[in-house]
Amino acid sequence: MISFLLSIGALILGYFTYGKFMERIFGVDKDRETPAVRLRDEVDFMTLPTWKVFLIQFLNIAGLGPIFGAIAGAMFGPAAFLWIVLGSIFAGAVHDYFSGMLSIRHDGLSISEVVGIYLGPTAKQFMRLFSVVLLIFVGTVFLVGPAKIIDGMTGNMWNVWIWVAIILVYYVLSTLLPIDKLISKLYPIFGVAMLLMAIGLLIALFFGDYHIPELVPSNLRNMTNDPEATPLFPILFITIACGAISGFHATQSPLMARCMKNEAQGRKIFYGTMVTEGIVALIWAAAAMTFFGNVEGLNGAMIANNNNAAWAANEISLNMLGQIGGVLALLGIVAAPITSGDTAFRSARLILSDIFKSNQKKIVNRLLISLPLFVIAFVLTQIDFGIIWRYFAWSNQTLAMIVLWTITAYLIYENKAYWVTLLPAIFMTMVCSTYILIAPEGFQLPNEISYIGGTLITLTITIAFWVYTSQKKKVFVGA
């Protein structure tokens, strides 16, 4: 329990210290007119109250990640706590803050366009394709996942495909309607529900007969049933994405960058929501490690139920929170992923509208861009959910890696403290390159070869980046 409380304290302290440091490095201009004011269109660009922007951003980035990812990550043991804390403070929140603030500085542009500004046209074209594909994956995952959960909660009253259809209709509406018509009204309610669920679990952990394992040397090891098949590095760092660092967040930040009335809100909206998500992930990881007796019990329960994190989340909610837990589970475990799915499609629409320079004030233009996205997502629902989730997990962290390199380039060009993103960029490059070499959905190479290959790929990318930015810095300085 002591390590758990210190972990929460460290996250809160990180917001007030390292978050403030990031704000100072960026150089907030309180008098600078934001895109929400300058480009107001009553659809995507408009000012919203700070508390609403915070809750919308929180739900946008959260989804199933800090719940399902934390439960799966807890199977590795207390090492998950360490990654959530360090990842959130020094990687995830930094990634979210700068990606959001750079969008504000560039008229609310989507992340693919921001990448193009700092890493060149080739990177921009790649990111356009990569980010749209990722967002379709997210939309598909958060279309099928919640439908299955609702179907289970309602005792298979209806066919799961009926729930898919209902959620899809909602996705169409939330993607097409102005942001203040549906999203800004529903998200605060669901956001509060998700936070209440986490607070309820926290209270249950304090006053129930639960023993959270401590962060001691003997526990900082791979506690999964088969450490050789699931090595802590890099599997843990892909498994826990939301709650530590997630590239998906960079696709969501421009949505709120178009709704903020002052740059000074940035630390609360971007850094603050990531820290909040980290706290939620810590609570769920702790609950998972203790509810089933211990980490070994969690591993056994997950294996017996086909590694079904949705089942585990439902069991934890209902048993630790009682009857009220059922209501909160419905709102938190179901609504949270749906609210990430709808903004995934909305983000994809905005990226495509940036690419094709399509004015989104007319609903017919929004419809023309959105309909193909929904058709593709529905087709993807026919593929095994597990396969889509695994590829989403890797592509999500790969996107985070690219965004970190982009922010590093910006800091280099601006003669600012680029090391704050260079170090996590190198680390995430090592994680992603090693994972794709070692994973079943990748090249399935032996662990030792994968580590060597991941190191070589990371060195190559780092050197290539350094050569590129050294040349391009002259252009930025000249400008």
Say what the pLDDT of residue 32 is. Answer: 94
Residue 135 confidence (pLDDT) above 90: no
User: What integer pLDDT is reported at residue 157 of this predicted model?
Assistant: 79
How far is 476 from 58, CA to CA, in rounded Å?
34
Residues 75 and 236: beta-carbon distance below 8 Å: no
Q: Work out the number of other CB atoms within 10 angstroms of the CB of residue 169.
A: 11
Statement: residue 325 has pLDDT above 70: no
Q: Per-residue confidence at 181, pLDDT binned at 50, 70, 90?
A: confident
Q: Which two tokens stand for residue 24?
A: 């100072």
Question: Could you read off the pLDDT of 284-304 as tens digits, one per residue?
Answer: 999 999 999 999 999 999 999
Q: Angle at Cα 230 formed by Cα 225 and Cα 233, nearest 5°?
A: 125
Mean per-residue pLDDT, 238-248: 91
The whole-number pLDDT of residue 249 equals 93
The whole-number pLDDT of residue 471 equals 87
pLDDT band of 191, cuts 50, 70, 90: confident
d(CA 55, CA 233): 33
With 0-12 / 13-18 / 19 or more C-beta atoms within 10 angstroms meaning exposed / middle / buried, residue 122 is: exposed
Interval 124-130 mean pLDDT:
91
pLDDT the model gives residue 381: 76
Q: What percent of the chain has pLDDT over 90?
A: 57
Alpha-carbon Rg of the chain, whole angstroms?
Answer: 21
For the purposes of burial, counting CB atoms within 10 Å of the CB of 180, is it exposed (0-12), middle (13-18) or buried (19 or more)? middle
Predicted pLDDT of residue 142:
76
What pTM, to 2 d.p., does this model score? 0.92
pLDDT greater than 80 at residue 131: yes
Q: How confident is the model at residue 387 (pLDDT cuts 50, 70, 90)?
A: low
Q: What is the CATH number of domain 1-402?
A: 1.10.4160
> Is the pLDDT score of 478 beyond 60?
no
- The whole-number pLDDT of residue 133 equals 86
Which of the residue ranges 2-6, 215-219, 229-233 would you say has the lowest mean pLDDT? 215-219
Q: Please state at what angle helix 79-87 crosses helix 2-16, rounded to 10 degrees.
A: 10
Query: 441 by DSSP, 3-state: which?
Result: coil
**Nearest-angstrom CA–CA distance, 360 and 444:** 44
Preceding omega of 234 cis (within 30 degrees of 0): yes
Q: Is the peptide bond before 213 cis (omega within 30 degrees of 0)?
A: no
- What confidence tens digit (pLDDT) does each residue in 415-442 have? 999 999 999 999 999 999 999 999 988 8
62 in Cβ contact with 277 (< 8 Å): yes
pLDDT at position 290, please?
94
Give the model's pLDDT for residue 147: 82
Lowest mean pLDDT across 47-51, 185-189, 242-246, 270-274: 185-189
